[in-house]
Structure 1
Amino acid sequence: MHYVLPVYLLLDPRFEFLHGSAVDIGGKGVAFLADAMGGKSTLADFFIQQGHDLLTDDQLGIVQAQGDKLLALPSVPFVRPYREFEDLGHPVERFAAQPLPLRAIYLLELAEGPAQVIPLTGLPVVMALTKNRRLVMSKKQADLAKARFSCLAKLAATVPVAKLRVPRDLSRLPEVYETILAHLGEPYDSL
């Protein structure tokens, strides 16, 4: 479903898909975007273990709702914090059943040193989101491509986007978790 549904919705200009995972934090979607093996699913799985609901893993669907609100779409209740492509991953009990407004998008960057959030604005955000798009269209679909680029530009203008420097060490996931919650202004013990 992570791959079939986006292909089916590809021709509907209301939808955009990014390569990312998302969780529910405080009733809003928080997304983690990265290249393959960049830590998206691992981070989402850690948030689930801390009591957050999974919104989606690997394919972040975004829909423009009434009032031009951008919502993150729930996908299937499975997460794959490992790389076995022949299965859906392991099922999760905590799953967001409804679309949620996007609160923030983090672009994961594996790095040395402490976990760190670096806010981004303007053209670098649009470029990063465009690069992260999961589905690419041909030149024959120019009108649809314009609509999708417009959606990404709106996303960049209305949803905070930040680079998240993540240590490549699973034992430091609590540090990354606390860094994200601190950036969002959430108390650590809110669960």
Structure 2
Amino acid sequence: MLSAHQRRASSNSPTSAATTLHAAREFPLDQSGVPRLPHPKLQFGPWWIASETALSSLAYAMARAVGKTIEIVEAPQLFEPQSWHHHWTDDNAVVLSLARQGDGYLLRFPDLADFLLQPHASRISIIQRNASTDDATLEHLLIDQVLPRYLAHEGMLSLHASTLVIGGKCVLILGKSGAGKSTLSGFLAVRGHTLRSDDCTLVELDGSLALATPTYPSLRLLPDSIEALYPAGTDMRPMAHYSSKQRVVPQAVDTGLPTLPIDGFLVLDNAAPANAAPLTPMTAAESCLALIRHSFQLDPGDKRRMATHLHMCSEVARMLPACRLAYPRRYDAMTDVASLIEAHVSAMPIATAAHAPTPASGS
């Protein structure tokens, strides 16, 4: 396993010519000279995806990557469970339902699509699809809902969080849907910081470090945010048929998907009073609750996995500095907010500093 220092160095270094030439003997190269697998596998965090349906937001899996494979297939069938085990709601309307089915799980997005998840077989089946659910909507459901929950079930801390590299430090921005997380992340990317993931970040523990692996870097933005961030225009495509949001890939992105040590995180607070401090340090308990609140889960009734999830949130909260960011969600305040974040991150210690080896005496 790479050390934290090696992870940071490798994420900022291009593949050497020798490595590329060696890989080219076995794998074809893409337009940028990166070796690609000879089969159409995609990458979502550390996992490979073999999908029968188009997932154009995901990068092709790199030959040098190592990962397990999740198969996504279209297997239409009529299925109605005897009972539902959990419902997620928004404004008192059910937006997602879960039913346990043998060794698998049925996820139903009402009036959109049904998915059968079979982790024991590393398979996700699309079993029902509403006539109005186009390919963009199906992709949105898979990469923004189904896959994050699947990987949470597999033991990863799957956070509803953006990942950026700001001044060489890896920072997560957490926020509920509609909090303005994507717009803020896009604005920071416009200022030259590297966006590594917008909607989902996968976190693992490695000793005294919390490591983040991004999933995909495109932003999901409303038209007014796109106009504010990209007044000269930008490439975009629809996110889903029921939303006016568009997918945008900013220029300052990193699609290499290396895992990096996390240096800290921010939690957006849209409800802070006008006289509140713009940045408020959070206690470990507050941080833990924020991580729980902003994480994906597949089966909240699985006590063993929920205990593991709680432990991971507690450990990450203990390891990392966190602040609550009073975020007014006004475009005229974006520059001040970004400057505040940059100054805060600049003053943060690097996560690996405390773990660097002590020089030998006399060296």
Structure 2 match to 1:189: none
Distance 2:209 2:307 in 1: 18
Q: Secondary structure at the match of 1:3?
A: helix
- What are the equivalent positions in structure 2 for 1:65-80 lying under 5 Å apart? 65=206, 67-80=207-220
Quick check: 1:106 aligned with 2:106? no
Identify the match of residue 178 of structure 2 among 19, 37, 43: 37
The alignment of Structure 1 onto Structure 2 pairs a total of residues equal to 183
Determine the C-alpha separation between the residues in 2 that align with 1:71 and 1:95.
19
TM-score of the pair, normalised by structure 1: 0.85
The Cα offsets for residues 49-94 of structure 1, whole Å up to 9 and x where unpaired, read as 01111121111221224x3521111211311132864176112332
SS in 1 for 2:216: coil
What are the superposed Cα offsets for residues 15-50 of structure 1, whole Å, 9 maximum, x if unpaired?
A: 111222121113332111111110100110001101
Q: Per-residue deviation at 1:182?
A: 1.4
Unaligned 5+ segments in structure 1 are 187-191
Offset of residue 136 of structure 1: 4.9
**Counterpart-to-counterpart distance in 2, 1:162 and 1:35:** 15
TM norm structure 2: 0.47
Which stretch of the first structure deviates more once superposed, 121-130 or 82-91?
Answer: 82-91
- Contact 1:108/1:165 (CA < 8 Å) preserved in 2? yes
Aligned mates of 1:120, 1:136 — CA distance in 2: 27
Tell me which protein shows more helix as a share of its residues: 1
Of the two, which has the highest radius of gyration? Answer: 2
Q: What residue number does 2:197 align with?
A: 56
Letter of the structure 2 residue corresponding to residue 2 of structure 1 = D
Per the alignment, residue 333 of structure 2 pairs with 172
Query: What's the % identity of the aligned pairs?
Result: 27
C-alpha distance in 2 between matches for 1:168 and 1:184? 20
Unmatched 5+ stretches in structure 2? 1-142, 224-237, 348-363
Secondary structure at the aligned position of 1:167 is classed as coil
Contact 1:79–1:89 under 8 Å retained in 2: yes
Matched, 1:3 2:145: yes
Deviation, structure 1 residue 114: 7.8
Q: Return the alpha-carbon distance in structure 1 between the equivalents of residues 221 and 203 of structure 2.
A: 22
Q: Quick one: distance in 1 between partners of 2:276 and 2:149?
A: 38
Report 1:1-191 matches (<5 A): 1-13=143-155, 15-65=156-206, 67-82=207-222, 85-86=239-240, 89-96=247-254, 97=256, 98-110=258-270, 111=272, 112=274, 116-139=278-301, 141-185=302-346
Q: Bigger relative contact order, structure 1 or 2, given CA contacts below 8 A and separation 6+?
A: 1
User: How far did residue 99 of structure 1 move?
Assistant: 1.7
1:118 aligned partner, one-letter code: T
Task: Let me know the Cα RMSD of the aligned residues.
Answer: 2.2
